Structure 1
């Protein structure tokens, strides 16, 4: 599978504002897709047999088109913080700007892969295109709208096994190459806290597929289930759907709309910057010379500064619980709380707007705070500067805060 591709591993970190989603955002950065109709008549299989089929799949080459639709129910202000200029090197060709946009709305792609050293993703939103190309030792990001490109070479001292010749592509790691990669990560993380079964069959991208259904065993998670459509012929995951405990349409629906498992043409992965394009060089020790954009205004919010970079991101993090119901407790060390911000007449407008966008006020043995709510990840920000965040319900956050105040 193209799951060995380097375009992927840490994409989730950039899919939503780090100040709110720190953990449990892994389900957001799944790459491309959608497609389904009818249920083909296929031989019965057990969940174990289907898991073995996925594990045995070794598809290295593919091309096609895909779509991802994400509906997190983000507040308008938070949606406005996604994407935009800045990125790793201050330019809009930087990969995480595009990854951030996957946290909201519908996006379409062309995708191609030829083993672990050659992948290409092309975003097709509107008339403009953004391409991320990994070809051997080179990674290119090109944005046609801004006429800018980002380039990065593999680091000579990268950890062994991190890419061709033991080299690592820091920027390529920020995008997922295919639904296979996401499905493998979900299955790897499932463990004993998950019930796994075989659901209805499906047609995805014109191919017959079984569906693995993963459900949390414990109560408290916002995730109702994860459905992974698996190609009945070669075991490649074709689609991933993340469903909410509250029902409604999927939180994330990602999968191929068209797929071909033949070897892509070699020139698919060739890239030369067009004449006049501004090129920003990245490097193994960092991501260009520019400053990251950060989250404008949020670094001024007491209790969130450690998560937005104002305190060098050194908040102490402790994971409570396990599996789907795990919660990250972040001790920011802030000397002020949300009430201080509420009463501060000189606080930045952006900070006030973010505070207003936060959800319900809550209280308990821990004291008082506010809950930032989405359909997937929720965060309790206490008045004394602690943050509890996870893919769990508001009640689960309050219970955790009471038990670990």
Structure 2
């Protein structure tokens, strides 16, 4: 229903981590006793097993560690998101969940089908809880004793549904077909995750120039539920994303798990109040660039931020080395014009580059890199900085 779609903006981390866990991961081989001995299985059969999984309920604990190769920015991102969502101390998920983009965190999760999910982020004696129950979303930050509440009410009508494969085998066929000549998909042995036997599905780019080294998903041998996911970069070192279940139970959580009562003295902020005060003004005079970035990342499959339409960015190349290019419509921002607290972060993040295209700055992470030229052109992708420079040069 429409109300559930509105709520889903904030419960994606819950649904993903609680039901599929397909975008978070943990370093393989947690079992001290060695990998389990399981029947042989092909990559296609394992993909079919994932597609056929009907897991609707579970509860558990997992850890997530993120290393994007960036300078420390917990305070910076929290301040930016907090300001956009209503200031510091806000329980708005858009302010709180930025914590997951760096460092190591422990979370507890519970899921009871598509109607109910709960995620609790533990931080010492403090905790942050996000609860989706039917058409309502509640969030509570114990540190600031603040509550965020949103009740569904979007009357825009049902969203168009994409045609889905009719069977797990069809889905597996489509995945393997989409991988084509650019991707290797194999079964890389077995593992033990949170006391459960699992197969390891390994996805690796065949193309040179991608920043992705490999993606490994541990799939529960009994249920087909993904239990962990490891994203490694070609730059080496710690995984970019390293998290996964340390404890999991596929039983139905108690209904009381999703109950929420506003704590005494807590300040409650309604979601429509945040939208009214901050939503309309976030884009401002330079609102076009964030929209284009959203389209660019969507086309590259980086985070599901949206897809390009006829007016979207140009896609250069294909597969793992695809680059989205667009004109931001404005000169590149100068670091010295940024807020004082952000200048050091931006200086550490960006490298000055030049070529036939002129000059610009490459903003880099271990996975996604972006080149912004001084005249406002943007090139972004999960590729090396040199690949971005080459694309900019070729465009001239």
| 1:389 is the counterpart of 2:380 | yes
Q: Specify the alignment match of 1:22 in structure 2.
A: none
Does structure 2 conserve the Cα–Cα contact (< 8 Å) formed by 1:196 and 1:213? Answer: yes
Equivalent of residue 328 in structure 1, options 319, 324, 327: 324
CA deviation after TM superposition for structure 1 residue 196, in Å: 0.5
- With the length of structure 1 as denominator, give the TM-score of the two structures: 0.76
CA distance in 2, matches of 1:81, 1:351: 7
CA deviation after TM superposition for structure 1 residue 276, in Å: 1.2
With over 3 angstroms needed to count, the CA separation of the structure-2 counterparts of 1:276 and 1:231, relative to structure 1, is: same
Equivalent of residue 123 in structure 1, options 110, 118, 121: 121
Q: Specify the alignment match of 1:70 in structure 2.
A: 66
| 1:42 is the counterpart of 2:44 | no
Gaps of 5+ in 1: 13-27, 164-183
- The aligned length equals 351
Equivalent residues in 2 for 1:282-297, closer than 5 Å: 282-283=271-272, 287-291=274-278
Q: CA RMSD in A?
A: 3.7
Residues 94-136 of structure 1: per-residue CA shift (max 9 Å, x gap): 1122221111010111100000000000001221110000011
Q: Secondary structure at the match of 1:39?
A: coil
Residues 193-212 of structure 1: per-residue CA shift (max 9 Å, x gap): 32100002100011000000
Does structure 2 conserve the Cα–Cα contact (< 8 Å) formed by 1:56 and 1:235? Answer: yes
Gaps of 5+ in 2: 14-20, 162-171, 297-310
CA deviation after TM superposition for structure 1 residue 81, in Å: 2.4
Q: Specify the alignment match of 2:18 in structure 1.
A: none
Q: Specify the alignment match of 1:257 in structure 2.
A: 246
Q: Specify the alignment match of 2:392 in structure 1.
A: 401
CA distance in 2, matches of 1:42, 1:29: 22
Residues 20-72 of structure 1: per-residue CA shift (max 9 Å, x gap): xxxxxxxx993576672231111110001100000000100000101110000
With over 3 angstroms needed to count, the CA separation of the structure-2 counterparts of 1:83 and 1:307, relative to structure 1, is: farther
Q: Specify the alignment match of 1:222 in structure 2.
A: 211
Q: Specify the alignment match of 2:83 in structure 1.
A: 86
CA distance in 2, matches of 1:47, 1:32: 19
Residues 294-317 of structure 1: per-residue CA shift (max 9 Å, x gap): 99xxx99xxx875469xxx99963
Q: Secondary structure at the match of 2:222?
A: coil
Residues 346-377 of structure 1: per-residue CA shift (max 9 Å, x gap): 77545754552343321111111121121111
| 1:98 is the counterpart of 2:96 | yes
CA deviation after TM superposition for structure 1 residue 190, in Å: 6.0
Equivalent of residue 53 in structure 2, options 57, 67, 70: 57
Q: Secondary structure at the match of 1:42?
A: coil
**The 10-residue stretch of structure 1 (192-201 or 82-91) with the greater mean CA deviation from structure 2:** 82-91
CA distance in 2, matches of 1:33, 1:189: 27
Residues 286-343 of structure 1: per-residue CA shift (max 9 Å, x gap): 8533326999xxx99xxx875469xxx9996333223322222231111x346xx47x
Q: Specify the alignment match of 1:179 in structure 2.
A: none
CA distance in 1, matches of 2:379, 2:254: 48
CA distance in 2, matches of 1:189, 1:97: 39
Q: Specify the alignment match of 1:19 in structure 2.
A: none
With over 3 angstroms needed to count, the CA separation of the structure-2 counterparts of 1:231 and 1:216, relative to structure 1, is: same
Q: Secondary structure at the match of 2:390?
A: helix
CA distance in 1, matches of 2:271, 2:347: 37
Equivalent of residue 30 in structure 1, options 23, 37, 49: 23
Equivalent of residue 368 in structure 1, options 359, 373, 377: 359
Q: Specify the alignment match of 1:168 in structure 2.
A: none
With over 3 angstroms needed to count, the CA separation of the structure-2 counterparts of 1:116 and 1:198, relative to structure 1, is: same
Does structure 2 conserve the Cα–Cα contact (< 8 Å) formed by 1:199 and 1:211? Answer: yes
Q: Secondary structure at the match of 2:314?
A: strand
CA deviation after TM superposition for structure 1 residue 10, in Å: 9.2
Q: Secondary structure at the match of 1:53?
A: helix
